[in-house]
């Protein structure tokens, strides 16, 4: 299929006129993504899934730091949906950020929408995924951001690169799975496999012929990009007999960590140096879930094979890496506590020290009361989830459209609370009044330029577990984590304000807290949510709206000439 080059020219001109500025540096890239149903065979059966261009994972977007990419998404699927460029800050440009009915309405079937992806400070690995219901289960791919011209990696240039994307495979239809779960109020079905680059691997039935193989040359050092696109479980990941040297997380460099395994939450990306320094052979690469809550989860293990090139006899047994137990908090923490920003002269950081906006957000699983205990969740109620006891309701007109047009009535309210409604021992026996949230579309308005601190407080309501919180429009500094309740006097004394990692997704420890900081220097409408998909579906979400500053450079851009329509606008 040929796409009209004229539409690219028009999109580009629109960008020049409406965007105002066109950066002198930075190249422009154009991609066409065709969303369509495609048959895939996995786990002994064939089913039709939504893909980009028929591939799983979808196409890789490769740019250099500071570039711009235009992605024209042609929806030839069965339902409307949106796309998101996870971890790309999109300065002043929420129009292309993507979460459904937050920054845009779905792209209707049979139409196209061009996203403009503005790369700024990001360098390393990010990813893209659909951002409508559970469509991201099959609609995802890598974003590789290479150093800008005349700059290099802060380590010896690797001999070659490789990308491994961790995913979930469901035998059923993902849209039906979440619809059914929301209708009954119970837990959605767990996935049937985890995958590496779309393949379950040798430990699943009918999968060993297609196990993903990464071919390496003895002696080479590779830059391995690992992306966690799994739907509902955090992951441990390791390669047999090969240490991992982690050098970046969420497209920002860190002080190198040498480790036998990593813990990576859905939404996170890690850049890892791997040297092929073992006897030429085959070695298993494996990934399995890290879930520390009393919840049902997929406990299976996906594998790929690291296979050395050359002449040697195929080993009779392939070494398998040691992965921590599924609920091993200590192992997860041992890794994540080591992560510190590189914070070098070439890659400086700037941690906000003056905080003018503080929020303390309780993160909970809840119940929605069902008449006659008729639902399939605990106590005959429906499962739900909340931030500060507000369970987020997705509007049917985009929050951005309402905000920009000044017509917010009935779309959202600006009273998202800065503190939980009740203070109690959040990590102890939960109070009954926190079990049932209220429901609404409440956002937090933030003035341009504020120094913002958000402390996420994990709670034990229904089931304490680690939650990967993700913020759109920003990367932020993870200045502290701890167990138990956050104490506003003692906890901040433990902060790392020297070299905290600059990330876009963090695991809030089970029955613990995590503190993040950022400067609100990106005007727009920015979704904030748990990246465990079922929690987000249950309402563990909110929206931060950063107001315009006083200059054109601190003002949200105008909308592109065409935005997908909201059906009742």
Closest CB 467 distance from Cu ion, rounded Å: 3
Integer angstrom CA distances of residue 251 from 1, 88, 429: 34, 9, 39
Binding test (CB under 6 A) with ligand NAG, winner from 45, 277, 373, 396: 396
User: β-strand 83-86 against 68-75: which pairing, if any?
Assistant: unpaired
Nearer residue to ligand NAG within complex by CB, 109 or 219: 109
CA-based Rg of the chain, rounded to a whole angstrom?
A: 23
Q: Which entry of Cu ion, ligand NAG, none binds 464, CB below 5 to 8 A by partner kind?
A: none
Q: Which entry of ligand NAG, Cu ion, none binds 532, CB below 5 to 8 A by partner kind?
A: Cu ion
- The interface region with ligand NAG, picked from 90-98, 271-279, 313-321, 420-428 by CB under 6 A, is 420-428
318: which 2 tokens? 């392939």
Closest CB 539 distance from Cu ion, rounded Å: 11
Q: Is 150 in the site for ligand NAG (CB under 6 A)?
A: yes
**E strands along 65-122, which residues?**
68-75, 83-86, 112-118
Q: Is 258 in the site for ligand NAG (CB under 6 A)?
A: no
The secondary element (H helix, E strand) that includes residue 108 is none
Q: Which entry of ligand NAG, Cu ion, none binds 271, CB below 5 to 8 A by partner kind?
A: none
- The interface region with Cu ion, picked from 20-28, 229-237, 476-484, 533-541 by CB under 5 A, is 533-541
C-alpha 63/C-alpha 119 separation (Å) is: 9
C-alpha 204/C-alpha 209 separation (Å) is: 11
Nearer residue to ligand NAG within complex by CB, 438 or 487: 487
User: β-strand 502-503 against 476-483: which pairing, if any?
Assistant: antiparallel
How many whole angstroms from its chain centre is CA 45?
A: 29
C-alpha 214/C-alpha 285 separation (Å) is: 9
- The interface region with ligand NAG, picked from 178-186, 440-448, 517-525, 561-569 by CB under 6 A, is 561-569
CB distance 395 to 401 below 8 Å = no
Nearer residue to ligand NAG within complex by CB, 318 or 555: 318
Give 174's Cβ-side CA count (13 Å radius).
25
Binding test (CB under 5 A) with Cu ion, winner from 92, 131, 529, 535: 535
Q: Is 7 in the site for ligand NAG (CB under 6 A)?
A: yes
Q: For the chain, how are helix, strand and coil distributed in percent, rounded to 5? A: 10, 40, 50
Binding test (CB under 6 A) with ligand NAG, winner from 41, 45, 48, 309: 48
CB distance 100 to 82 below 8 Å = yes
Q: Is 218 in the site for ligand NAG (CB under 6 A)?
A: no
CB distance 98 to 115 below 8 Å = yes
Q: Which entry of Cu ion, ligand NAG, none binds 477, CB below 5 to 8 A by partner kind?
A: none
β partners of residue 117: 69
Nearer residue to ligand NAG within complex by CB, 220 or 376: 376
Q: Is 558 in the site for ligand NAG (CB under 6 A)?
A: no
Which chain residues interact with ligand NAG by CB under 6 A? 1, 3-4, 7, 25, 31-32, 34, 39, 46, 48, 53, 59, 74, 100-101, 105, 111-112, 149-150, 208-209, 294, 299, 324, 328, 330-331, 334, 394, 396, 425, 427-428, 432, 485, 487, 489-490, 562, 566-568
């Amino acid at each position: 299929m040929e796409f009209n080059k004229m539409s690219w020219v028009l999109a580009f001109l629109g960008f020049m006129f409406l965007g105002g500025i066109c950066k002198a540096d930075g190249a422009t890239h154009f991609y066409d993504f065709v969303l369509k149903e495609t048959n895939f065979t996995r786990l002994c059966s064939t089913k039709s899934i939504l893909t980009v261009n028929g591939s799983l994972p979808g196409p890789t977007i490769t740019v250099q730091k500071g570039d711009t990419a235009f992605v024209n998404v042609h929806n030839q699927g069965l339902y409307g949906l949106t796309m998101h460029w996870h971890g790309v800050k999109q300065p002043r440009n929420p129009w292309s950020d993507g979460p459904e009915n937050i920054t845009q309405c779905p792209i209707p079937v049979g139409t196209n929408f061009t996203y403009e992806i503005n790369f700024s400070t990001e360098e390393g690995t990010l990813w893209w995924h659909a951002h409508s219901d559970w469509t991201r289960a099959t609609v995802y791919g890598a974003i590789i951001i290479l150093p800008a011209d005349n700059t290099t990696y802060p380590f010896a240039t690797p001999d070659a690169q490789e990308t491994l994307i961790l995913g979930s495979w469901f035998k059923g239809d993902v849209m039906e799975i979440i619809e059914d779960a929301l209708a009954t109020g119970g837990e959605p079905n767990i996935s049937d496999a985890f995958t590496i680059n779309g393949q379950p691997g040798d430990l699943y039935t009918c999968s060993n012929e297609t196990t993903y193989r990464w071919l390496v040359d003895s002696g080479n050092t590779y830059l391995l990009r690992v992306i966690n696109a799994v739907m509902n479980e955090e992951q441990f990941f390791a390669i047999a007999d090969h240490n991992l040297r982690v050098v970046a997380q969420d497209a920002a460099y860190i002080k190198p960590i040498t480790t036998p395994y990593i813990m990576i939450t859905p939404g996170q990306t890690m850049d890892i140096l791997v040297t092929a320094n073992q006897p030429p052979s085959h070695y298993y690469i494996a990934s399995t879930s890290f879930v520390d809550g009393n919840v049902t989860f997929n406990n299976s293990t996906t594998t790929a094979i690291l296979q050395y090139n050359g002449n040697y006899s195929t080993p009779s047994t392939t070494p398998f890496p040691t992965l921590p137990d599924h609920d091993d908090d200590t192992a997860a923490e041992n890794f994540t506590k080591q992560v510190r920003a590189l914070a070098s002269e070439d890659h400086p950081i700037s941690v906000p020290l003056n905080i003018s906006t503080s929020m303390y957000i309780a993160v909970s699983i809840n119940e929605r009361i069902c008449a006659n205990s008729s639902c399939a969740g605990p106590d005959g109620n429906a499962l739900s989830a909340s931030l500060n006891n507000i369970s987020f309701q997705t509007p049917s007109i985009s929050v951005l459209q309402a905000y920009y047009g000044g017509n917010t009535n009935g779309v959202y309210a600006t009273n998202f609370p800065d503190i939980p409604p009740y203070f109690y021992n959040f990590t102890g026996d939960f109070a009954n009044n926190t079990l049932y949230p209220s429901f609404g579309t409440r956002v937090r308005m933030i003035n341009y330029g504020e120094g913002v601190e958000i402390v996420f407080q994990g709670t034990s309501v229904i089931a304490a577990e680690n939650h990967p919180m993700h913020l759109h429009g920003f990367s932020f500094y993870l200045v502290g984590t701890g167990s138990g309740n956050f104490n506003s006097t003692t906890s901040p004394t433990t902060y790392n304000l020297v070299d905290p990692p600059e990330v876009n997704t963090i695991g809030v420890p089970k029955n613990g807290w995590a503190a993040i900081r950022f400067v609100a220097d990106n005007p727009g409408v920015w979704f904030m949510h748990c990246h465990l998909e079922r929690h987000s579906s249950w309402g563990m979400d909110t929206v931060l709206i950063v107001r315009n500053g006083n200059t054109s450079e601190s003002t949200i851009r105008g909308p592109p000439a065409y935005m997908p329509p909201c059906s009742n606008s």
